[in-house]
């Protein structure tokens, strides 16, 4: 028996587990401290009335023999896939229902999708970015090539013709930097992928936060993307589903590699390894896409974006450089006085009882940066920024 030694190449724990355990230790050592958590991007607004009502009704259905449901449809219930297709139609994107796969969230699918790709593919990953992309490819022992984001390219790395890649992860709006690719930039990525027969894995988990109408919210808004991209989205941040769990993955029929439709491979994978999202949750998800549900979700998104504005204003007054926060729920700031990001994390926790996420946790290029989330309550966001402004640390 041999273990998968690729696991030995990972950091000892997942970024957000490391943060949670540091915060637990701090709280134990300082029981009176009122810690404000702006670290992991976990929502604080409750599920909206449209969602709750739909889930209550679905629960009642499950309680009666005549309306009870067991195993659901393979790719997710038709009612939800139809609602998602209609949502895409409002973006000018036409999807067939069987191109949509309902999932328990983007994270799992962004990892599981690797099952359908050969082991010897080279994977291109932005740096900094959501750490799951790197971790899951490290677990699988795949060759990773990084593309570098920095203030010089607004944290939006562009294709480099000298780099050969088979699988490309893109995240827009970006976690952690809040940067958003323009349509012209995505056009270049699609052209690069098509020229190489590569596949783009496009994480659009934060698409609902895009306010600027000229920015794309789906890669399929770029012609030809249906021949080279798989899109992953989630209701976690759009509609407060971090604990409820529902997302979806789009695998277009036109996406064919080695003569095989990837949609067929993914269907085969999912039907074998996944039994779907609970009926009650899928009814709640359907309600997110109703006119009422969309309006209620929009109100919560506006609430979080107002938090982002409060964070941004406070940083501006402190003279701290930052990006993000306008079309994304994250603000990405430069650590003061050239501090390294874990040292800044420790000092902020110690001096202000405020938790953020060290940029280095998102890749080497995140060193010297720090992420604050806008997903806190208004009260906590204001208080956190007051404490940060008062901190000795910020005066270095
Ligand atoms: C984050 O804080 O980056 C996200 O909450 C992580 C996630 O969505 O899994």
Model confidence at 396: pLDDT above 70:
no
Does the beta carbon of 111 lie inside 6 Å of ligand 1? no
Question: 3-class DSSP state for residue 231?
Answer: strand
Question: What stretch of H or E contains 177?
Answer: none
Ligand 1 atom 1 nearest Cα: 41
* Residue 202 CA, ligand 1 centroid: distance in Å: 16
* Residue 42 CA, ligand 1 centroid: distance in Å: 7
Please identify, by atom number, the ligand 1 atom nearest to the C-alpha of residue 131.
Answer: 3
* Residue 242 CA, ligand 1 centroid: distance in Å: 9
Ligand 1 atom 4 nearest Cα: 41
| CA distance readout (Å), 307 to 122, 310, 370, 373 | 39, 5, 17, 9
pLDDT, tens digit, 9 for 90 and up, residues 160-213? 999 999 999 999 999 999 999 999 999 999 999 999 999 999 999 999 999 999
Does the beta carbon of 40 lie inside 6 Å of ligand 1? yes
Is 0.95 topped by the overall pTM?
yes
pLDDT-derived band at 12 (thresholds 50, 70, 90) equals confident
pLDDT of residue 385: 97
Ligand 1 atom 3 nearest Cα: 41
Integer Cα distance of 30 and 302 in angstroms = 34
Q: What is the mean pLDDT of the chain?
A: 97
Integer Cα distance of 228 and 191 in angstroms = 9
Ligand 1 atom 8 nearest Cα: 41
pLDDT of residue 82: 98
Give the contacts of 354 (CB within 8 A, at least 6 positions apart): 35, 36, 38, 348, 384, 387, 388
Candidate from 40, 178, 235, 331 with most ligand 1 atoms within 8 A of CB, to mutate = 40
Region 299-307: what's the mean pLDDT? Answer: 98
Please identify, by atom number, the ligand 1 atom nearest to the C-alpha of residue 242.
Answer: 8
The residue whose two tokens read 């895009």 is: 210
* Residue 162 CA, ligand 1 centroid: distance in Å: 32
Give the contacts of 359 (CB within 8 A, at least 6 positions apart): 128, 176, 332, 335, 341, 366, 367, 368, 369, 370, 371
Question: 3-class DSSP state for residue 369?
Answer: strand
pLDDT of residue 313: 96
Region 145-155: what's the mean pLDDT? Answer: 96
Does the beta carbon of 41 lie inside 6 Å of ligand 1? yes
How many residues are recorded in the chain?
396
Region 238-257: what's the mean pLDDT? Answer: 98
Does the beta carbon of 359 lie inside 6 Å of ligand 1? no
pLDDT-derived band at 126 (thresholds 50, 70, 90) equals very high
pLDDT of residue 268: 98
Please identify, by atom number, the ligand 1 atom nearest to the C-alpha of residue 236.
Answer: 8
pLDDT, tens digit, 9 for 90 and up, residues 28-68? 999 999 999 999 999 999 999 999 999 999 999 999 999 99
pLDDT, tens digit, 9 for 90 and up, residues 348-392? 999 999 999 999 999 999 999 999 999 999 999 999 999 999 998
pLDDT, tens digit, 9 for 90 and up, residues 86-117? 999 999 999 999 999 999 999 999 999 999 99
pLDDT, tens digit, 9 for 90 and up, residues 270-296? 999 999 999 999 999 999 999 999 999
pLDDT of residue 393: 84
Does the beta carbon of 37 lie inside 6 Å of ligand 1? no
* Residue 161 CA, ligand 1 centroid: distance in Å: 31
pLDDT of residue 205: 98
């Amino acid at each position: 028996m041999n273990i998968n030694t690729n696991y030995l190449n990972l950091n000892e724990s997942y970024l957000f587990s490391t943060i949670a355990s540091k915060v637990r230790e701090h709280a134990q050592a300082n029981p009176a401290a009122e810690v404000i958590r702006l670290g992991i991007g976990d929502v604080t607004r409750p599920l909206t009335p449209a969602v709750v009502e739909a889930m209550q009704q679905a629960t009642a259905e499950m309680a009666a023999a005549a309306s009870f449901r067991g195993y659901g449809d393979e790719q997710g219930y038709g009612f939800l896939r139809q609602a998602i297709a209609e949502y895409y139609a409002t973006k000018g994107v036409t999807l067939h229902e069987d191109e949509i796969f309902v999932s328990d969230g983007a994270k799992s699918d962004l990892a599981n999708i690797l099952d359908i790709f050969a082991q010897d593919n080279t994977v291109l990953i932005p740096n900094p970015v959501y750490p799951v992309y790197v971790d899951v490819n490290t677990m699988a022992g795949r060759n990773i090539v990084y593309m570098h984001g920095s203030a010089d390219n607004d944290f939006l790395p562009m294709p480099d013709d000298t780099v050969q890649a088979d699988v490309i992860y893109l995240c827009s709006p970006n976690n952690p930097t809040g940067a958003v690719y323009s349509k012209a930039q995505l056009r270049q990525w699609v052209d690069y992928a098509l020229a190489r027969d590569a596949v783009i894995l496009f994480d659009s988990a934060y698409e609902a936060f895009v306010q600027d109408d000229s920015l794309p919210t789906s890669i399929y808004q770029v012609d030809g993307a249906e021949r080279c991209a798989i899109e992953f989205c989630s209701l976690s941040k759009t509609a407060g589903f971090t604990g409820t769990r529902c997302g979806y993955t789009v695998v277009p029929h036109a996406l064919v590699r080695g003569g095989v439709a990837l949609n067929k491979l993914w269907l085969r994978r999912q039907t074998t390894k996944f039994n779907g999202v609970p009926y009650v949750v899928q009814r709640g998800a359907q309600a997110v896409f109703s006119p009422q549900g969309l309006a209620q979700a929009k109100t919560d998104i506006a609430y979080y974006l107002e938090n982002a504005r409060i964070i941004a204003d406070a940083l501006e007054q402190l003279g701290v450089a930052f990006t993000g926060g306008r079309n994304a729920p994250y603000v990405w700031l430069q650590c003061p006085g050239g501090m390294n990001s874990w040292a800044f994390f420790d000092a902020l926790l110690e001096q202000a009882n405020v938790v953020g996420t060290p940029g280095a946790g998102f890749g080497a290029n995140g060193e010297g940066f720090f992420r604050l989330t806008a997903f806190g309550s208004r009260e906590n966001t204001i208080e956190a920024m007051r404490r940060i402004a008062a901190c000795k640390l910020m005066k270095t």
